[in-house]
Every structure is written in structure tokens, then in C-alpha cells.
A and B are shown apart, each in its own frame.
Chain A
Amino acid sequence: MARAQFNRVLTKIDIDEIRNALIFYYPQVVGEQGKADPGKYSTRNFLWSGRVDFDVDIRFLTDVDLKNVREGQLYQSLKIVDQSLGKLTNTNPVESNRPTTEQLASMEEERVKREASQKSAVEEAKKSVEAAIKKQQEIQETLRDKKIYAKVEVAKGSPAPDENTARFIEEAKNHPLSFQKDLAASIKARLASSFSGTLTGEEIDFLANKTAYDTVFAANNFTTQSSANTQAAILGALGKDTQTLPKVITDENTAEFLKRASSELSFYKNQTQLSKVILSSVNENLATSVFGTGPENLAVTFTTKPTAGYDHEVDLEKLNQGHTDVLGAQSNALDKVRSFAGEDAKRLLTGQVRNFIDSQITKLPADSAISEIYNSKVAQQVLSSIGFGRAAPLGESLFGTVIQQIPGGTAFLEGIGNFLGIDLIGTTGVEATVDVVVEGSSLVGEGLVGGINVGIGVTEGAAIGVETQVAPKVVTAAAGQTGKLSLNVALGNAVAKGASAIAANLGFTAASAKIGAMIGTGIIPVIGTIAGLVLGALFGRVIEKVASWAKKHQEDLKIVGGAMLAGGIVVNSIPVIIVGGLIFIPTALRTGFSVALFARRTFWFFGRIARSIIITISTPVIVIVVVIPILVAIILFIINSGAYIVPPTGSFMGLQNPYINIDKKASPAGPFNNSDIPSKTKIEYTVTVSAKKGLLTNITFKDECKVIKNGAAPPCPSPSQATPVPPDSISPSSPFTFKYTLNFDSHNYDDSAIVNTFTVTADTVEEKGVTTAGSASIIIGKPPMECPNNAWPLANDEGLNSVTQGPMTPQGWTHYNTPNAIDIGVNGATIVAMHSGIVNIGEGACGGKWVRVVSTCGSLFTSYYGHLGATIVADGQKVTIGQTLGISDNTGSCTSGAHLHFQFFDTGSVPTTQKPYLKRNIPIGCTNQLGNLCN
């Protein structure tokens, strides 16, 4: 019947269809297990009645008689079929490097066991989630249009910043990245000196970076911080309210739920408190000035009706909505979990996971622990055995050592052990229930993460129905960033109450007294103690337990670690979970959220994961399918946190550099009138290059001078002396200084801005080829105002806070090594010229429709606007600042969603994705997809 189908030359499409059929009838070809004849299969061009029919055609096409192949030879035969099909039209084989039959049999055995256990656990969880959703919907109904009103008064205000603090805040605003980095280094040094035995280096890095980031963010967004404090105070008060809420909500269960939700949300909105406490030990005045009056010092009262003074409207319906959304997402996640149990699971592994893991691994330093494991011989062997063949670099690693260094790593091992049936930790189960429960009538849940927790979740924006504007209006729901609060309320409240309370809540009574004493004196170790306690609770109470065991079983652990990382069992769901389960990550791509938010959630996840794994010991399948992959993902994020919490500043951007300082001054500095030429415009430039941290060697200098003016700009005058030859080295104690003069003696320089940039590249004690730059500019007359100045490439500042990627992103990302490029998440928005200039237009396969404007304010700026849906300016057309250029869209292949790619070209060393060129500073290296957020 089928042979007639091949009475013609086969096309590539035909072969693709036959290949699909081959996978359908013999899933072994892609590493899956065989099954009974699945019966009829049709494509656009072909039809087979069943496997026997298909075998006839395969024999016709490839001379391989699958029907009579012995079982042990089947895989080899399928490989031959696959290769033969490929040769028919030069298409690639389905895959290469298949597992052996023995390996497949072993995998199948594992799969069957896993699947049976998984199925029941997942279904149970699904039932619970669905019940919770139903309950939530009922609650939602009772909350429809229910509102109360809050009055917030300052019980105790923050002190005014002292002179030193004011200077710090100014620095944080003017040089956010360098300030953040310096502050993080300072905190890190203190933590390390006091708690090197208590906290791991990664934990210290994480805390230091988070605190520094929160500080800089709060300093630059004081209103946002104050608003968060106010919302936290309102939510906290609502959680305790016994007067007003019962008048609005008569149903006890609903009222109880709302109170719980509010309490947790209160902590959620209060997420900078830990940073505040940590910063307090460095500079208390700075901490209170930057983070403002905390929720604990705000008094809140409620009323049921709009009343003067009660300016904050609390929309109870919206408060609940986030939880409902989270449940919906959890239900979806469970659907995905179900699919993992299906026969396609291994195909997923062999086809996609390796790429993902590779990409994650390559982001890590080559000498990092994870990289070492991944590249170890054993891990590579495991990779090969499950179909991920690759040249196996030799390498040794000590997974046991690594596991002690990874936050939550012990719990990780525990879960793996449960799955494999090996007691890796030496402990036995604690509880037998899957921690997805609906307790009685209240919706209390704890436990699992990654989308199947039935606990109280929030959708930021959507969930927090508290309007903090004075005007009595309802806050509109922001595009939902779904997250959830996994840290328990007790801990959250405790953080707000102070370090002693934290210790007490965590059961560290001895430490509690110690901390209390420390707080009394305000001595520095408080930071580390708090951090240690919090991290201890969150990251791994059991880390010590595994340490000794791990040392004895290093080789086993390597195998386990390799298997896990290879994705043979566990990691398969990482891409899916990250995209689907960790809902906040893809959402963040469009809406953005703060790094602090990500970091905080990471804390929570760890806490919940650590608990969940213990709780779910007897249901390892859930651990394997849901918890572990997330843990792995987060470990990778955490390990790599330095790359996204503190973006690589790239001194290229002219921001402060930790190793090199360049001070360039012009004297006189101006500004000058045109009539000052030439009497006052002989400018002496003094350049001082100093080393900030250790010796600079292999130094090169580059001096650039640009004149910005309307029309053709003259070249800069020749300097009185050439750029000097750099010294062999510059030490911190002996800066290198030189001077030269530029004489602007011609009226060619009327109405000009002269930007003079000095760039130094040198090897430092820690990095090679570090570059930084310093500029000095003078103004003569009235330079053109058409240059980008406090501008934004979208009309009405649309997308001002929707930046999804900044310049100079980490290696491997689209804007890697790309200065002055940003992505703004908008769709159908009006694109306007950032400055005057001459237009080029075009369309490319990657960038889609684009417009380029070459500045007329000098040769410095060329702006580029990509992925447009329409261009309304023509080649060669002159445009002025603010003139409409086109409409944004999603054209071209280099886009994963509608956005504007905006970039300045030809800017030399000038950082142009910052103020004053743009209306806001774009964090260097930010990329929402990595969690290093741009808004």
C-alpha cells in the first residue's frame, strides 16, 4: 500500500515526515522506549496503516528490514535507517550518540518505577491544587468590590542624613554601579572577617551584593522605597486587624485567609529590611536615610468608608487575585509534571537539556565547582551514556567539597538519594505526606515550590491592592509578576522586629542573647550573625550532616552529581520549569522586576526547598520532578550571582573602576562665550592616572577629542604635547600625572562642546586588560541642543520602565560586548528621534525593519532603532529630535517578543545609555532574563 507513495523523488519535507513516522513507530531512535504498534499514522504526503506497513516502506527506502531485526540489534538498525534517510536528501540524522540497549533497559526500569510513583503523587497534588483553586474562586466572589481605607501616620520618622550620608547618597545616585560594587566589597569584607567559618563565600557574596543593590536602588528610588514601606505597614496592620475587616468580610474563612495573605505580603513588601539591618552596621544613618521610615514606625488605622485622611484604598479583591493566579500557574505546572511521566521525557532530555546545561555551565568561571563537576570524567561519561556524547575532557573534582559550598546542596543530595533509593545523607524520612494540602477550610499550604505550592502566593501588582497615592483611587493591576511568599510569616515578622527576634524565632536562643548584646553596642558582627542565622535557616540546616559523609563518598557523589547535571533524570525539567514553573522569570522579561526581588525570592525558594525536601522524603518523585530541578537552576543562578547581581561595570562605560582611577580636569573649565575666543580659551588639561588596588602594568593610553557642533565639526586642535608613553607600572602610592594644552583659538569652535576622553587599559592584580576612561568637556557658546539630552526613543516616554536588556550584558547574551544598546519592551509604540540627524532605513533578517539617524550635532552620535513594524522616514531625510520615525513591532529573527532595540553607535568611549543622554540610567549589563533587572 505504502510503496506507491515513493514513486517519485523524495523531498526534504518528505524525509522529515518519514523521520517523524520513524520516531512514531520506533521511539527508540531518539532514546525512548519501544511500545506496541501504535497503529495508523498519516502525514501530509504519506499514510501508514501500522508498523508492519511502515516497515515495508523502510525496507523499500533503506534496505533495512526492521521487522526481522533482533531486539539487541534494533538500535543499530534504526541508526542505519536514520542515516540512510539522511542521505536521501542530505538531511541531518535525528540524533547521534544514542544510549546502548543495556542503558536503555536500565533507564526504562528506572522510568517505570519513577512514573508509577510520580503519577500518583502528581495527581494528588493536582487534586489539591484544583480544590484550592475552587476555594479561591469562592473567596474571590465574596471579595468582589470589597474595599477598606487606611490612614498611615509616621510614629517615628527617620533622622535627617548627616553630611557623610548625604555624600554617600549623592555618590549612589551619580555612580550607582561603582558605589554598589564598593559597598558590596565593604560588606563582604566585614562578613568574611567575622563569619568565614559560619557562612560560605557564596553566601557572603550573595548577602553583600543583595544589600548593596538594595541600598543603591533605594537611594535612587526613595519614593518607591517609601511606598513599599507604606504598603508593608498597611498589609502588616491588615494582618492583625480585628476591627475593620470583620465589618467588611463576614465569612470567617475568607477573613482569616486575607489576614494570612496580608501578613505574608507585608513581609514581601518589606523585603529590604534585612538589607537595612545589615547596612545599619556599616552606617546606621545611611541605612535609615536610604531605606526611610520603616513599616515598624508607621501607624495604620482602617475604616470601611472613604474618609478624609484615609487616603489609601485597599482593594481586597485584588489582594486575593494574586493567590488565585498563582494557583492557576501551579495547576499548569502540574500539567507539565504529568507530561514528564510520559514517553517523551527522554526525548526531551536528549534533545534539549544538554544545550541548556551547557549554556549555564559556560557562564560560570572555568574553575568554578560546578564547571569542574560538569567537565569531570565521570560526569562526561554519564552524559555520553544517556546520549549526550561529547569529547570528554579529563578533569577531577570533589563533589563532596562542592556540595558543602552550595547553599542547599545537602538537601539537594538528599532528594537525589531518595530518588535513587540510596541514603546519601544517612537520614530517614520525616513525614509521609506531600506538602500540598488544604487544611480544613482555610487555605494554608506550605512546602513545595516551583508552582505547586498551595501556600499563599502573590502576584506583585495584581495582588497588592493597596493604593498608596493620596488620591482615593484603586491601584490598577500591573502586568502580573507572579511570585509567592515562601518564607514563613514568623521569620518575616521577626526580621522586621530585629536581630534578637530572628534568633529567637529560629530557635537559636543562645545566639539570641549574643545578638541582642551586639545590637546594643552596634558592633559589626551583628551583620554576620543575622545573615548566618537567616541563611542557616533558609539554606541548609543539614549542611554539616552531609559534610563528613560526602568526604567518604566522593566518587559516588561525583556520579550522582554528574547524572543530575547531565539531566538524565532530574534536570530535564529545568528549561520547562524555568519557563513555565518559575513564572516570574519569563514574566520579568516583559515587565521587569528588581534584582532584589529576584534575590529575595531565591532566598525563599531555598528555604522552602530545604524544608520541602525533608518533608517529602517519602514522595521523592515530587522532589525529583519539581523541587530538585528548581534547586539546580537556582544553584546555577546563585553560583553565578556575581554576574547578575553586580553587573560587570565595564569601565568602558566611563563609570568608576575598582582598579584604575582617571582624573581629567580642564582649566579654566568654562563655560565660555564665543567672544572669549581666543583670549580665554587656552585650556590646560591635567590627567592623573592612579591605581586603586595593586599595581597596574602593561599600560596603554589613548586620548580622544571630539567637537560637537552643528554641521561639519572641526577637528580638535593639536595638543601642546603628544600623549606620553605610559610608564611600566603605576602603583597606588605613585599616580602618574601629565598635562597638555589645547588652544581653541579659532572661531571654528564657536557654539561647540569639546569632549575630551582619556582611556587607560592595564593589567591589574586581579584582571587583565581592564579599561577605564575619564572625560573633561568644555562648552563654548551655545552648542547644538539637538544632541541627545535627557531624551527617550519613544513618544510620551512610553516604556521608560520597561527596559528588558541593557548594554554590555554577560558573555553569550545578545548585548554582550555591545555598548550603548538597550531593549525596551513595547509593542506598536511610536518611535521618535533621540536627536537631529540624517536618516538611513533598511530591513535585515536579524534586526527587522530599522531606522538609523546619523547625528548632525557632531560625529559623535548615530542612533539605531530596530525591530520596527513601520518606518515613516526615508533614506537621506533630515529629522529633528522628537520627530516620529516609525512604529515598534517584533520584526526580524533576533527577537523573542515585541520590543524596540535602541542603540547608539559611534560614541567612542562615551557612555550614552545613561543620563544626561537618556532620561534614566540603564544598568550596565542588566538582562531581565538573568534576573539582573533593568528597571
Chain B
Amino acid sequence: MNIKKLAKITLVGLSLLSIVWIISIYLKGGPKKSSGIVPGKPNLVKTYKGNLSISFNIKEGDFKYTGSLPFLSVTKKVLTEDYLNKVASFMGFSGTSTKINDTQEGLTYFWKSDKATFFAYTNTSKIRYSSGEPFVAPNKQLSEDAVKAIIENFIADSSVLSANSYSLGSVQFLKEGSLNEGFKKSTKDDFSLYQVNILPKSTEYEIVSPTSTESTSYIQLTKDGNIYSLQLVVFGNVQKGPTEYTIKTYKEVNDSIANSVLINLDGEETPIQYLTVDYVKEIVINRIDIAYLLDSVSSTNLQPVYKLTGVATLPNTRGVQAILYLPALSGL
């Protein structure tokens, strides 16, 4: 073997090694399938004292969730006074804020004007704006694109979120309930408010919490395109976790349906923990979605959960909508 041939072989060998090395690096960097390690359960506490009779009324053929999902790893933006003052000022609040030590969410800045309030919760990096004005406004017949443009402009002009850190959900049309308080989803022909959910760029699923069964971040506009209310959990960074975990199959969901946790009964003001043990007669689940759960104020790893929507039978009323959460990961 001459030197030339040796050099050739060495070169080819090195090239092959490089390719193997690059591939291994690549594989290391991508999401790993779970090696069978099951993460801990999300912080979902059953507060309803009674035994729930839950039935899963979804056909197997209609159940489309399969495969695996990663955690969502989040950091929250530190809400500095400077940042908050800027946003508050943009929202029309003048003067300094009142500082409140909120016993659930820590240091909270509070602005109030004749027309609106603005809360900023530093521990949870959450801000809330609520107009006290009626939501009735002239209908400017805004297109969905126009609504999104208004929201994007608002976000950009107020600097409330970083550019490229979020995406907008589809435009929802809300209308106040004809009976119960609260807004319900409606159509663009009969609505009172636009709502657009704000999603982190890295996921297409809503982020929900035990206290918010819809997206934790949203902006609502009146028909004339003014901000009516908003709530934003301001994340610093959101990315999918490195490992993907198998999610529950139809059978697993069906088998573990009794473990789902009642989160909300539509129109029921009494906190669930204070409802009597026989208050909820039964719940029939007829819809299932996936969402990521922000299960506590300090959560940084968000697990996927199945958001189960159904009808609960209560005493003296017709059925009301019930929402329950069930950990989505297999084995939990």
C-alpha cells in the first residue's frame, strides 16, 4: 500500500467518520422519543368533593390524537417597572401605579382610570386590562385580517410582546350569553367582541390553566376595533422540550376518564370546592382537545393535557357546559 493509497483510505475514512459524527450530533439535538421514563403528574388538584360520574361519549373513529408530544419549556419575562409604565401609558393610564401585594400572585401593579383598570402581576408575568365601558360599539365590519392587523399593531406599538415571539390564533367572535353571564363563541354576523388568542410561536396548542380554560393570553376588541380587554402571560422564551412523550390513546383516555379533574361549570360562581358532594349528577364528555397546562404560577415545564368538554347535569337546571382536564401523557 503506497502512501497515496493510504492517504486516500484515510481521507475516505475520516469523511465517513465525520458523517457519522454529524448524524449523531443531529440525532442528539432532535426530540428524543421517551425511553419509557414517565414524567410526574401535572399539578391538577381535584377540588370537587363528590364522586363524579363521567362518561366518554366520543367514538373511537373520531378520536384523532395519537403519537407523542414534548413538554413546553417556558421562561417568563421579568416585568420591570419601566416596561409596565410604558405599556400602561400606551393603554391610556397616566400617573403612577398602586403597588399591591397580591396574596396569590405577588407584587402587583395596579392602574385605574375612569374607564378601565390595568393589573400587572409580577410573579406570574401576567397583565390584564379591563374596560369598564359598555362593549357596544359601532360595527366597523372589520375583516379578520383587519382585526389581526389591529392586534399586531397594538402589540408592536405598545411593545407589550417581543416581535416574532408570538402568533395569533384565528379571530373568534364572542357574544354575551343570553342567559348566563360570560361571553360565548358566536359568528361574525352576531357578536359583540372580537377575540384573538395569542400563542407562543413554538406551539399551535392553546396554553390553559386551572383558572382559565380558554387561552391564558388573549386580546378582545370591540366592534369598532378598540381594545376592550386583554390578558397576556408574557413569556420570555418558549420552546418545545427535548423529549417527546407518548400521549394517551383512545382506550387510555376512556379507561382513565374518571381521573379527569373538573375545572369549570359554566355559570357556576360557587368555587368548585364548596359545591355539595351531590351537586354534579353526571358529566357526558362530547369533545376533546389538547392544550398545554400552566398548572401553577411558577411552572416552567408545561405538560399537555386533554381538555374535555361536556355537559354536566346539575340540580334544578338543564345541563351546563363542564370542562375537565386529564393529563395527556400516557401512564399519568
A residues with CB within 8 A of B? 11-13, 16-17, 20, 42-44, 87-90, 92, 332, 335-336, 339, 344-345, 347-348, 351-353, 355-356, 359-360, 575-576, 579-580, 583, 586-587, 589-590, 811-814, 816-818, 821, 823, 827-828, 841-850, 852, 864, 866, 869-875, 887, 889-898, 901, 903, 905
Contacts and interface: CB of A to CB of B under 8 A. Distances in A.
A869 B110 contact: yes
Given A841-B103, A896-B182, A827 B117 contact: yes
Contacts of B316: 816-817
B269 A821 contact: yes
18 contacts: A42-B145, A44-B170, A87-B62, A90-B64, A583-B136, A814-B179, A814-B267, A844-B272, A846-B264, A852-B271, A869-B119, A870-B105, A870-B110, A890-B229, A893-B212, A894-B269, A896-B177, A901-B269
A11 B266 contact: no
Given A359-B178, A813-B179, 11 more contacts: A351-B189, A575-B190, A586-B136, A821-B269, A845-B211, A846-B264, A849-B104, A870-B119, A871-B102, A893-B214, A896-B181
B77 interface: no
A804 B184 CA distance: 20
Given A590-B134, A845-B212, A872 B181 contact: no
A871 B132 contact: no
Nearest to B135: A897
A587 B134 contact: yes
B72 to A, nearest CB: 15
Given A814-B180, A827-B132, A845-B210, A894 B186 contact: no
Contacts of B177: 896
Interface of B: 58, 61-64, 100-105, 108, 110, 112, 116-117, 119, 128, 130-132, 134-136, 138-139, 141, 144-145, 167-170, 175-183, 186-190, 192, 204, 210-214, 229, 263-274, 287-289, 316-317, 323
Contacts of A351: 186-187, 189-190
Counting chain B CB atoms within 10 Å of each CB, the highest count among A90, A351, A892 belongs to A90
A873 B102 CA distance: 8
A579 B100 contact: no
Q: Which 7 A-B pairs have the closest CB atoms?
A: A348-B189, A827-B132, A845-B264, A828-B117, A352-B190, A828-B112, A351-B187
Contact of A88 (B64, B178, B214): B64
Given A816-B317, A905-B274, A352 B132 contact: no
Nearest to A849: B104
Contact of B183 (A88, A583, A873, A896): A896
Contacts of A575: 175, 178, 190
B170 A847 contact: no
Contacts of B135: 897
Given A332-B138, A893-B214, A894-B181, A344 B271 contact: no
B116 A827 contact: yes
Nearest to B174: A896
A336 to B, nearest CB: 6
A90 B179 contact: no
Nearest to B204: A11
Given A348-B190, A351-B189, A813 B180 contact: yes
Contact of B104 (A352, A843, A887, A892): A843
Given A344-B189, A894-B266, A898-B117, A359 B130 contact: no
Nearest to B274: A905
B190 A576 contact: yes
Nearest to B98: A887
B117 A846 contact: no
A844 B264 contact: yes
Contacts, number: 202
Contacts of A356: 178
Contacts of A814: 179-181, 267, 269
Nearest to B213: A845
B102 A872 contact: yes
Nearest to B61: A87
B63 A579 contact: no
A13 B172 CA distance: 12
B192 A579 contact: yes
A812 B179 contact: yes
B101 A17 contact: no
Q: Is chain A's interface secondary structure helix, strand, loop, or mixed overall? A: mixed
A659 B196 CA distance: 53
A889 B181 CA distance: 15
B117 A889 contact: yes
A893 B190 contact: no
B133 to A, nearest CB: 8
Contacts of B108: 870
Nearest to A43: B170
Contacts of A44: 167-168, 170
B316 to A, nearest CB: 5
A896 B176 contact: yes
Nearest to A575: B190
- Give the residue among B63, B204, B263 with the most A Cβ atoms within 10 A: B204
Contact of B211 (A90, A817, A848, A852): A848
Contact of A847 (B64, B134, B188, B269): B269
Most chain B CB neighbours (cut-off 10 Å) among A842, A875, A893: A893
A20 B170 contact: yes
A180 B271 CA distance: 35
Which of A332, A345, A589, A827 counts the most chain B CB atoms within 10 A? A827
B323 to A, nearest CB: 7
A890 B131 CA distance: 9
B128 to A, nearest CB: 7
Contacts of A816: 316-317
A893 B117 contact: no
Contacts of A576: 190
Contact of A352 (B62, B100, B186): B186
A894 B119 contact: no
A698 to B, nearest CB: 19
Contacts of A344: 188-189
A176 B63 CA distance: 57
Contacts of B212: 845, 893
B48 to A, nearest CB: 11
Contacts of A873: 103
Given A90-B64, A590-B134, A841-B103, A17 B188 contact: no
Contacts of A587: 134, 136
A589 B210 CA distance: 29
